[in-house]
Amino acid sequence: MTDETRIAVPATAKAGTHCDLAGYEALYAQSMENPDGFWRDQIGRLDWVKTPTVMGNWSYDPVDIKWFEDGVLNASTQCLDRHLATRGDQTAIIWEADSPDAPSRTLTYRELHGEVCRMANVLKGMGVTKGDRVTIYMPMIPEAATAMLACARVGAVHSVVFGGFSPDAISGRIQDADCRFVITADAGARGGRPVPLKVNVDKALESCPGVTGVLVVRHDGKPVAMADGRDVWWHEARETVPAHCAPEPMGAEDPLFILYTSGSTGKPKGVLHTTGGYMLWANLTFHYVFDYREGEIHWCTADVGWVTGHSYIVYGPLSQGATTLMFEGIPNYPDVSRFWQVIEKHKVNIFYTAPTALRALMREGEAPVKKHDRSSLRLLGSVGEPINPEAWLWYWRTVGDEKLPIIDTWWQTETGGVLISSLPGAIDMKPGSATKPFFGVCPELVDAEGQFIEGPASGNLVLTRSWPGQMRTVYGDHERFVQTYFSTYKGMYFTGDGARRDEDGYWWITGRVDDVINVSGHRLGTAEIESALVAHPDVAEAAVVAVPHDIKGQGIYAYVTPNMGVEATEDMVKELKFCVREHISPIATPDFIHLTPALPKTRSGKIMRRILRKIAENDTSNLGDISTLADPSVVQALIEGRKNR
Ligand code: ATP
Ligand code: MG
Measured from the CB, is residue 352 less than 6 Å from ligand 1? no
Ligand 1 centroid to 412 CA: how many Å? Answer: 5
Query: Which pLDDT score is estimated for 645?
Result: 67
Q: Find the 608 Cα to ligand 2 centroid distance in Å.
A: 12
Best residue among 176, 264, 382, 628 to mutate for probing ligand 1's pocket (most ligand atoms within 8 Å of CB) is 264
The type of residue at 131 is G
The answer to whether 332 is a known ligand-binding residue is yes
Q: Residue 550: its pLDDT value, please?
A: 85
Question: Which residues on neighbouring strands pair with residue 63, listed in sequence order?
Answer: 60
Residue 276 assigned ligand-binding role: no
Query: 3-state DSSP call for residue 201?
Result: helix
Compute the average pLDDT of residues 141-170. 96
Instruction: Kindly identify the ligand whose nearest atom is closest to the C-alpha of 269.
Output: 1
The answer to whether 162 and 310 are in contact (CB under 8 A) is no
Query: Would you say residue 241 has pLDDT above 50?
Result: yes
Check if the beta carbon of residue 31 is closer than 8 Å to that of residue 465: no
Does the pLDDT of residue 633 top 80, yes or no? Answer: yes
Q: Is the CB of 202 under 6 A from ligand 1?
A: no
Q: Is 510 in the pocket of ligand 1 (CB under 6 A)?
A: no
Q: Measure 411 CA to ligand 1 centroid, in angstroms.
A: 7
Inform me whether the pLDDT recorded for 264 exceeds 80: no
| Mean pLDDT taken over the chain | 95
Nearest to 83 by CA among 40, 112, 126: 112
Best-predicted range by mean pLDDT (74-78, 356-360, 633-637): 74-78
The band of 1, judged by pLDDT with boundaries at 50, 70 and 90, is very low
CB of 515 within 6 A of ligand 1: the answer is no
Whether the CB of 386 sits within 6 Å of ligand 1: yes
| CA angle in degrees (0–180, nearest 5) for 107-144-361 | 90
Segment 463-475 mean pLDDT: 98
Task: Place 2 in a pLDDT band, splitting at 50, 70 and 90.
Answer: low
| Whole-number Cα distances in Å, 481 to 124, 283, 584 | 32, 25, 37
Ligand-binding site membership of 386 (annotated): yes
What's the pLDDT at 4?
A: 64
pLDDT tens-digit map of 199-212 = 999 999 999 999 99
Please report the pLDDT score of residue 297 as a whole number.
98
534 is in an annotated binding site: yes
Grade residue 431 by pLDDT with cuts at 50, 70 and 90: very high
CA of 509 to the centre of ligand 2 (A): 13
Q: What is the mean pLDDT of residues 340-345?
A: 98
Tell how far the Cα of 264 is from the centroid of ligand 2, in angstroms. Answer: 7
Q: What gap in Å lies between CA 274 and CA 254, rounded to an integer?
A: 5
**Cβ(415) – ligand 1 distance below 6 Å:** no
- Asked whether 277 lines ligand 1 (CB < 6 A), one says no
Q: Is the pLDDT assigned to residue 322 strictly greater than 70?
A: yes
Q: Comparing C-alpha atoms, which of 12, 53, 165 is closest to residue 628?
A: 165
Q: Indicate whether 10 pLDDT > 70.
A: yes
CB 284 within 8 A of CB 307: no
In this predicted structure, the answer to whether residue 523 has a pLDDT above a threshold of 80 is no
Mean pLDDT across 615-639? 86
Task: List the one residue out of 423, 417, 452 whose CA is nearest residue 436.
Answer: 423
Which pLDDT band holds residue 631 (cuts at 50, 70, 90)? confident
For residue 261, report the distance from its CA to the centre of ligand 1, in Å: 9
Q: How far is CA 632 from the centre of its chain?
A: 22
Give the Cα separation of 65 and 478 in Å (integer). 12
Residue 174 pLDDT exceeds 70: yes
Amino acid of residue 268: P
Q: Is 408 in the pocket of ligand 1 (CB under 6 A)?
A: yes
The 10s digit of each residue's pLDDT in 531-587 is 899 999 999 999 999 999 888 889 999 999 999 889 989 999 999 999 998 888 888
What is the C-alpha separation between 368 and 361, in angstroms, rounded? 9
Tell me the average pLDDT across 234-259: 98
375-403: average pLDDT: 96
Residue 540 DSSP class: E
Complex prediction ipTM: 0.99
pLDDT of 630 reads 82
- Taking the C-alpha atoms of residue 529 and residue 81, their distance in angstroms, rounded to an integer, is 50
Ligand 1 neighbourhood includes 264 CB (under 6 angstroms) = yes
Q: From atom 23 of ligand 1, which residue's Cα is the shortest distance away?
A: 384
What pLDDT score does 512 carry?
87
pLDDT band at 355 (very low <50, low <70, confident <90, very high): very high
Distance spanning both ends of the chain, measured CA to CA: 32
Residue 240: Cβ-neighbour burial (10 angstroms; 0-12, 13-18, 19+): exposed
489 pLDDT above the threshold of 80:
yes
Q: How far is CA 397 from CA 387, 406, 434, 443, 583, in A?
A: 15, 11, 18, 30, 22
Among 45, 43, 44, CA closest to 67 = 43
Q: Cβ(484) to ligand 1 under 6 A?
A: no
Instruction: Tell me if 262 CB under 6 Å of ligand 1.
Output: yes
Task: Among 308, 411, 430, 474, name the best residue to mutate to test ligand 1's pocket (greatest count of ligand atoms within 8 A of Cβ).
Answer: 411
DSSP state of 27: H
- Least trusted range by pLDDT, from 401-410, 473-482, 560-569: 560-569
Mean local confidence (pLDDT), 139-152: 98
- Residue of 311, 412, 418 best suited for mutating to test ligand 1, as the one with most atoms within 8 Å of CB: 412
